[in-house]
Amino acid sequence: MITDEAPFQAITARGVRKVYSTPSGAVEAVAEASFEIARGDFVSILGPSGCGKSTLMLMVAGLEPATSGALTLDGLPVAGPQISAGMMFQDPTLMPWRSVLDNVLVPVSMRRPVEADDLARAEHLLRMVDLWQFRDKRPRELSGGMRQRVALARALVTDPRILLMDEPFSALDAITRDEMGLALARIWDTTRKTAIFITHSIREAIFLSDRILVMGRRPSTIIEDIRVPFPRPRTPAVEAEPEFNDLYLHLKASIHRTTPAMH
Amino acid sequence: MTATHMTTDSHDPPRAGKPPEALSRVLAGVRAHARPIVLPLVTAALVIAAWEALVRVRNIPDVLLPAPSAVAVRLWETLPFLLQQAVPTTLETIAGFAISTVLGIALAVLVSASRLAREALYPNIVFFQLIPKIALAPLFIVWLGIGSSSRITFSVFISFFPVVVATLTGLTSVDRDLLRLCKAVGARPWKVYTEVRFPAAVPHIFSGLKIAITFAMIGVIVGEFITAQAGLGYMILFAASQAEMALIFAAIVLLCVIGLALYALVVLAEALALKRYGD
Ligand SMILES: Nc1ncnc2c1ncn2[C@@H]1O[C@H](COP(=O)(O)OP(=O)(O)OP(=O)(O)O)[C@@H](O)[C@H]1O
Ligand SMILES: [Mg+2]
């Protein structure tokens, strides 16, 4: 029996390794990853392109099997797709033939008939992301930021225990991206879901996270594990704090160290 | 709201004394819209006029090249007869197209859903694309006789490959992350097909169908050439044997009209489908 008070870590990874076998040979996407994520922690993963961040997230979601090592979610080994994970990707990946509301309900309707409770939850989430009045619109009628907000509501519609986000704001312009960061922080404050958030933006990571993991490349392992000290709820004002800048410079240097070839 | 409000609030209040400007703007708009229709029509009219002039000036005999006016007269005289011949051609084209659609989509689903089917079939499908299929037409008569089943089968044979290839492209074009999301929430594979892959493939399928409808007609006409029983294709062959050039052209004109109409129907269906399934 798993309850919210259970002493489990929400996510644990021990010696997780992933080797893709491709026609042109084996690719070691993740060499060794070991970490624990406490329930309710928002954890960002930073790292150079191609270091295996997406692969790690897919393994946590049970969508790619680990070559070796052990992963658990709420104390149970990850074997096969995890229904308890809500997911967001770089692209909104909405279905153009479905309305906004029906898109939000996709994780439910793909598995079983939609019930009144699901509709109520979808409405609640759409109101939270300020899109309830757009519920009958098609994705093509929305802006990029609005679409990504639909994707956020969709990720939360099953009330998942963990939220996995792979560069969800990378395709947005800078202003929309900041707005989305604020919206995510606000929504996260009301749900406090365990979250893994992959990003290339150090500022975004600091602003949103309780903890930041930095992955290095060759070998791709976790080279840093930093706690972010700022209290919640956070406002953009934290960016002005000296500690924010120290953290920023520290992380920047640490990411740069992992990519010595790039100068 | 009162009438006076409506005029004062209007975004573009008509200014008294300046209607020519508005009129010229409207005319410019019409011109911009009409251009893509008018220009090709003018070109076609010029070509036909040149053809007419050439035949008249050089006194070219009808058995070599009839003037467009002669074709028009012949078309008018023989229209009831030609229409009668057009019925089997049209019906067989529609039958061939319909079978191609079902068969092509089914084969594409099979090939995309089963790895074994894909590995065993797909290279052959690609190879078949490359065969000059018209060369095989006589075989169909040997196997199926000279009836309409032979022509329809050949029409299917010619027109279903584009449907397979287009559908397959559509079924496999679905975003990888969307498929992952479906897998993560525990969607059954058939549900992913009916709810995600197939709707995503609809726009692609129509690009295949537009090719298939023209190919289906080519298949039927070639079949009619060879089986020599009935239909506009047979009419053309027969007219050629009688040196009835004007009749050949009349039959071709009718074929063009039918082909265009069938193609337009597919385009119409596509427009309706894209309203729902398009991006
Ligand atoms: N399905 C796959 N098959 C083979 N190799 C793969 C596959 N997915 C990823 N890789 C390889 O594994 C390595 C890590 O890829 P991954 O996508 O996890 O990196 P990433 O850190 O998410 O990169 P980015 O920041 O660019 O998104 C890369 O070298 C990539 O080419
Ligand atoms: Mg990635």
Q: CATH code at B252?
A: 1.10.3720.10
Which of B122, B119, B110 lies closest to B193 in space, CA to CA? B110
CA A14 to CA A34: how far, in whole Å?
4
Annotate B106-160 with DSSP letters as a single string: HHHHHHHH-HHHHHHHHHHHHHHHHS-GGGGHHHHHHHHTTSHHHHHHHHHHHHH
The closest ligand to the CA of A166 turns out to be: 2
> Once rounded to an integer, what is the mean pLDDT over residues B133-162?
90
Q: Does residue B98 share a domain with residue B139?
A: yes
Contacts of B201 (CB under 8 A, 6+ apart): B167, B169, B170, B171, B173
Q: How far apart are CA A37 and CA A60, in angstroms?
A: 12
- Quick one: average pLDDT of B113-122? 89
pLDDT tens by residue, B57-70: 998 888 889 999 99
Chain A residue numbers with beta carbons less than 8 Å from the beta carbon of B194 are none
Q: Own/partner pairs for B118-122, CB < 8 Å, 24+ apart? A: B122/B168
Q: Are residues B108 and B92 in the same domain?
A: yes
Asked if residue B141 and residue B81 are part of one domain, the reply reads yes
Nearest to A53 by CA among A198, A174, A150, A196: A198
Contact A157, A122 (CB under 8 A): yes
Q: In this structure, which ligand is nearest to the CA of A49?
A: 1
Ion ligand 2 neighbours, Cβ < 5 Å: A 54
Buried b (16+ CB within 10 A) or exposed e, B76-103: eebeeebeebbebbbebbbbbbebbbee
Could you tell me the CA-to-CA distances from A29 to A58, A159, A166, A202 in Å, in that order? 12, 30, 16, 22
Give residue A166 CA to ligand 2 midpoint distance, Å: 7
CATH number of A7-84+162-263: 3.40.50.300
B215 CB burial (10 A radius; 0-12, 13-18, 19+): buried
With cut-offs at 50, 70 and 90, classify the pLDDT of residue B18.
low
The three-class DSSP label of residue B59 is coil
Reported as a single tens digit per residue, the pLDDT across A167-220 is 999 999 999 999 999 999 999 999 899 999 999 999 999 999 999 999 998 788
| Residue-level pLDDT at B1 | 40
The minimal CB distance from A110 to the residues B175, B185, B199 is found for B185
Q: Is A51 in the pocket of ligand 1 (CB under 6 A)?
A: yes
Contact across the interface for A110 and B199, Cβ inside 8 Å? no
Distance A29 CA to ligand 1 centre (A): 6
B186-227 pLDDT, tens digit per residue, is 898 899 999 999 999 999 999 999 999 999 999 999 999 988
Q: Is A55 in the pocket of ligand 1 (CB under 6 A)?
A: yes
Q: Are residues B96 and B15 in the same domain?
A: no
Q: Identify the CA nearest to B212 among candidates B276, B265, B150.
A: B265
CB atoms within 10 A of CB B29: 10
- Ligand 1 pocket, residue A57 CB under 6 Å: no
Stretch B136-162: mean pLDDT: 91
Rounded-to-integer distance, Cα A61 and Cα A158, Å: 15
Peptide bond before A65: cis, by omega within 30 degrees of 0?
no
Through-space distance between the first and last CA atoms of chain A, rounded to whole angstroms: 52
| A45 CA: distance to closest CA in chain B (Å) | 19
End residue of a domain, out of B57, B83, B104: B57
For B:187-206, CB contacts with A below 8 A are 187, 191-192, 195-196, 199-200, 202
B40: exposed, middle or buried (C-beta count within 10 Å: 0-12, 13-18, 19+)? exposed
Q: What percent of chain A has pLDDT over 90?
A: 82
Residue B249 and residue B141 share a domain: yes
Same domain flag for B86 and B33: no
**Residue B51 shares a structural domain with residue B103:** no
pLDDT at B141 over 50: yes
Residues B112 and B24 in one domain: no
**What's the confidence (pLDDT) of residue B26?**
81
* pLDDT on residue B11: 53
Question: Containing domain of residue B75, as a range?
Answer: 63-277
CA separation (Å) from A99 to A133, A148, B75? 12, 14, 52
Do B121 and B76 share a domain, yes or no?
Answer: yes
Q: Do B278 and A63 touch (CB under 8 A)?
A: no
Query: In three state form, how does the secondary structure of chain A look?
Result: CCCCCCCCEEEEEEEEEEEEEECCEEEEEEEEEEEEEECCCEEEEECCCCCCHHHHHHHHCCCCCCCEEEEEECCEECCCCCCCEEEECCCCCCCCCCCHHHHHCHHHHCCCCCCHHHHHHHHHHHHHCCCHHHCCCCHHHCCHHHHHHHHHHHHHCCCCCEEEEECCCCCCCHHHHHHHHHHHHHHHHHHCCEEEEECCCHHHHHHHCCEEEEECCCCCEEEEEEECCCCCCCCHHHHHCHHHHHHHHHHHHHHHHHCCCCC
> Structurally, how many domains does chain B consist of?
2
Residues B184 and B212 in one domain: yes
Count CA atoms within 13 Å of residue A95 on its CB side: 29
Residues B132 and B236 both lie in one domain:
yes
Q: In 3-state terms, what secondary structure has residue B13?
A: coil
pLDDT tens per residue across span A14-24: 999 999 999 99
Cβ neighbours of residue B14 under 8 Å, at least 6 residues apart?
Answer: B22
Q: How far apart are CA B255 and CA B60, in angstroms?
A: 25
Mark yes or no for CB contact A110/B277 under 8 Å: no
Chain B interface, mutation test: which of A55, A59, A90, A97, most B Cβ atoms within 10 Å? A97
pLDDT-flagged residues of chain A (< 70): 1-8, 259-263
The verdict on B72 and B209 lying in the same domain is: yes
- Looking at the predicted complex, does its ipTM rise above 0.95? no
| Confidence (pLDDT) at B243 | 87
> Separation of A218 CA from ligand 2 center, angstroms?
16
Outline where chain B has alpha helix (H).
3-9, 19-58, 68-113, 115-130, 137-144, 148-171, 176-184, 189-192, 198-227, 232-241, 245-277
Which strands make up the sheet holding A68-73, listed edge to edge?
A25-38, A9-22, A68-73, A76-77
Q: What is the pLDDT of residue B8?
A: 43
Per-residue model confidence as pLDDT tens digits over B217-249: 999 999 999 887 889 999 999 999 998 899 999
In whole angstroms, give the CA distance from residue B90 to residue A166: 54
Read off the tokens for B163: 């449907």
Residue B128's pLDDT is 82
Q: Which two tokens stand for residue A90?
A: 């770089």
Q: Which of A83, A89, A97 sits opposite B186 (nearest CB)?
A: A83
The conformation of residue B14, written as its DSSP 8-state character, comes to P
A22 lines ligand 1 (CB under 6 A): yes
B246 near B62, Cβ under 8 Å? Answer: yes
